[in-house]
Structure 1
């Protein structure tokens, strides 16, 4: 018998997901929890699960911390994040934490079920066709109890250094002098930073860095 667990604090959304997931296959048993702490109790008492579907914006222990705990405690159990926060840095961070999939809540029921079946089949699922974020389209970020390291959102060490110096207000030429690089190389790194953050300009990159509270303490 297939066993799934939905961890979602909004009752209406949770009930909708439970009802939808009951269609994955005949005889599926879908458990539900409103927060991460109660989800751990279910996991401890009910034995092995085939898949956990985890929201990010949970009360108490949020989905980021919860995902990290699950990957450490139950390394063989797949966990898919189901979230409305599907911007590129969030998706990258979730996948880097070991999620088996990222399923946007914006999907219709049929596509969500296809994504769930894909994860159950052992595939890694992530959103496709993501467009760069626009400043005026920015969505609130899911709450997180810890700051974000550059590597968690897909930045290399050098890209993190370039972004850090951008945040400090340095021009590309000043960054080149600081890092002993050519200005052209700095521009290449800056373009890579924009892509990782899902933005298209330096201004948007600075806003995104501030919104995520990126921790630059170890980049130099």
Structure 2
């Protein structure tokens, strides 16, 4: 019996992942946790977990910091990062911190399950464009389209989740003043004047040329 733990604070996303993961093999048990504290409770109460799927943008202790905790307390347990932030810097940091894989949230369910099977078999999974042999064609991210830095893209990701400047600062370890500076740069890059316009700008589908 395969036992998997999903650490994801968005309830709808978490429930969708739990349902999808049950297709990885028969009799799979998928357990959900909304944050690092709840995940630790599950880890301490559940024996023989096979893998943790970890979102980076968690309330309280963020995913990257929690990854370090997991590597120290449960060194043999594979951890796969599942995140909307899949820039090269973030992927590199996750692998350096001990992740066994990194799956972008834009991946299809089939691709995610294939990636998890690879990790369960003892491998390390990276998004296709970061493997040896070069990049594969893909849709450009919001950060690439608007020329945002990695820090600005993280702030924008939390903005799209409805976080306040104070909450963003707490999650990323930044002062509110620094968050405001990033916000100003994001608004300028997106050619908007406020949060609502920024959300509308990044949600618009890009027309194919």
For 2:30 and 2:144, the matched residues in 1 are separated by 37
For 1:101 and 1:116, the matched residues in 2 are separated by 8
SS in 1 for 2:153: coil
Q: Does 1:105 align with 2:118?
A: no
For 1:119 and 1:33, the matched residues in 2 are separated by 21
Correspondence 1:46-125 to 2 at 5 A: 46-125=46-125
Correspondence 1:132-211 to 2 at 5 A: 134=144, 136-138=146-148, 140-141=153-154, 143-145=171-173
Question: In structure 2, what is the equivalent of residue 161 of structure 1?
Answer: none
Measured after TM superposition, the shift of residue 125 of structure 1 is: 0.4
For 1:3 and 1:134, the matched residues in 2 are separated by 37
SS in 2 for 1:77: coil
| TM, length-normalised to structure 1 | 0.63
For 2:105 and 2:34, the matched residues in 1 are separated by 17
Give the root-mean-square deviation of aligned CA atoms. Answer: 1.9
Q: Which gives a bigger RCO, structure 1 or 2 (Cα 8 Å, sep 6+)?
A: 1
Measured after TM superposition, the shift of residue 108 of structure 1 is: 0.7
For 1:12 and 1:129, the matched residues in 2 are separated by 28
Please tell me whether the aligned partners of residues 82 and 102 of structure 1 are also in contact (alpha carbons under 8 angstroms): yes
Which ranges in structure 1 are unaligned for 5 or more consecutive residues? 147-220
For 1:116 and 1:62, the matched residues in 2 are separated by 22
| TM, length-normalised to structure 2 | 0.66
Question: In structure 2, what is the equivalent of residue 22 of structure 1?
Answer: 22
Measured after TM superposition, the shift of residue 135 of structure 1 is: 6.4
Count of matched residue positions in the alignment of Structure 1 and Structure 2: 146
For 1:66 and 1:144, the matched residues in 2 are separated by 13
For 1:6 and 1:25, the matched residues in 2 are separated by 16
Please tell me whether the aligned partners of residues 18 and 32 of structure 1 are also in contact (alpha carbons under 8 angstroms): yes
Measured after TM superposition, the shift of residue 50 of structure 1 is: 0.3
Please tell me whether the aligned partners of residues 81 and 102 of structure 1 are also in contact (alpha carbons under 8 angstroms): yes
For 1:145 and 1:72, the matched residues in 2 are separated by 21
For 1:135 and 1:18, the matched residues in 2 are separated by 32
For 1:109 and 1:11, the matched residues in 2 are separated by 18
Which ranges in structure 2 are unaligned for 5 or more consecutive residues? 158-170, 175-209
Q: 1:135 to 1:108 in 2, by over 3 A?
A: closer
Displacement over 2 Å in runs of 4+: 130-135, 137-140, 142-146
Measured after TM superposition, the shift of residue 48 of structure 1 is: 2.5
